[in-house]
Amino acid sequence: MSEFKILLIDDDVEQEQQLKEAIENFNKKYFINKASKILGITEGKQIAKLSILDNKEAVYNKLKEDFSLSSEIDEIFNFSVIYEAADTPEKAMLLLYKENFHALIVDLKLETDDNNKEDENYSGNVLLKNIISKEIIPIIVRTGFPNKMTQEINRNIIKSCSKETPTLEEVVEELIDYYNTSIFSIFGSRGKVDKHIKDFFWNILPECFINKKEEINGLDKGIQEKVIIRYVSSWLNNKYMFNDGYLDVEPIEMYMFPNPIDRICNCDIYKDDDSNEKFIVLTPACDLANDKAENILFAKIQSYESVDEFNKTIQKSSEQQKTEEKISNGNRNKIASWSRNSHEKSMRYHFLPKVGFFDGGFIDFSLLTCLKYDREKNEFAERNLVKIGTITDSFKRDIIARFSSYYQRQGQPTFNADSILKKYL
């Protein structure tokens, strides 16, 4: 990326001039910091001399006099933050349609009659709602009225601040950092998801659907859409699950908290608000999908401490890490076997990894309870259960398969070990 382009949406001319100066300072500092590291410049006085030069170009010329500059330095020099400005919502939307921007700085009060409007009708709020319906882009609302930002805007994604603090230079730096997070590199208007969807549309879709018209054309339009969306989901999952071999996944991938589906789903996780106990739904998906289930089957989720064998291994590993600064391979392998549900004593349990929003634990297939479900009230008899999340599809199948295996096991008589050995020795 040779440039980072910001759109300033503000009707105050002074704000544009301040942004221009802030960007010039940022570009100069950014170049000095990066170039100094490459060239090994560590002396404070030398860096200070570069900092008092007028602009990035002057710094480059000075470095060129004193050093032999590499192509890496030239590449850093060629990167710049630039900006354009719009003083009305109409001009802003036109620029967003015509050009590609990496980030936005937005004021809330863009029209003189905003003072007479409800918060959600402020021109900046109306503009923000229009932008987020069309773009996925880093936005910082910088306004004299930060408390006027409508509650409909998610403040975890669109950040707001006053015009006094932080400085515009700090805002520029924050926007670049925000743009470089995985959120925008994946979901941004030019992110990986957008590229994959285009790849799917132009290259995969013709082979999977358009060239198989007889399979899909007979379906209702609404069903066609669901089929294609599910197919895209499976395609993306396969694309990132396999790469010459099976790719390891992270614990967070096992969960979707909260579950956006209101109705009960197989492997939903519930919490009892009275006892704080956790449960998982094991009722077959076919019964839930057809609304056949009047009673819902749950298994209790036990804490790690409740499973003695696992808890002992964790405690030993913790002690080793404190005293020896390294967990033994034996204990590491035991923990791994529990997490893979392959430990000799794990038949009754299914491991759920701990993450920041969920303590994890073990599904205990021996601790089952069946509760009558009132579908209209979305309530369970006898317990005050609240849905907190669900297990993602990639992990559901193994849970249900192991639950079935646990209850289908029949065992067999034990062979006489001495008789077996005689045949081989």
In this structure, is the dihedral angle defined by the CA atoms of residues 212, 213, 216 and 221, taken in order, positive or negative? positive
Environment class of 78 (CB within 10 Å of its CB; exposed 0-12, middle 13-18, buried 19+): exposed
**Tens-digit pLDDT profile for residues 42-78:** 888 889 999 999 999 999 999 999 888 899 999 999 9
3-state secondary structure of 218: coil
pLDDT confidence band for 185 (50 / 70 / 90): confident
Closest alpha carbon to 268 in 259, 377, 292: 259
What contacts 424, CB < 8 A, 6 or more positions away?
none
pLDDT, average across residues 179-187: 86
344 φ, ψ (degrees, to nearest 5): -60, -25
What does pTM read for this prediction? 0.69
Please give the share of the chain, as a percent, with pLDDT higher than 90.
55
For domain 3-186, say whether CATH 3.30.200.20 is its number.
no
What is the DSSP code string of 300-339? EEE-GGGSHHHHHHHHHHHHHHHHTSS--HHHHHHHHHHH
pLDDT recorded at residue 260:
83
Instruction: Indicate whether 32 pLDDT > 90.
Output: yes
On average, the pLDDT of the chain sits at 89
pLDDT confidence band for 244 (50 / 70 / 90): low
**Tens-digit pLDDT profile for residues 79-90:** 999 999 999 999
pLDDT recorded at residue 243:
65
pLDDT recorded at residue 212:
65
**Tens-digit pLDDT profile for residues 261-316:** 888 999 999 999 999 999 999 998 888 887 778 899 999 999 999 999 999 999 99
Pairwise pLDDT comparison (346 vs 273), residue with the higher score:
273
Can you tell me the distance from the alpha carbon of 149 to that of 419, in angstroms, rounded to the nearest whole number?
Answer: 80
Report domain extents, the chain: 3-186, 192-241, 253-408
Instruction: Indicate whether 1 pLDDT > 70.
Output: no
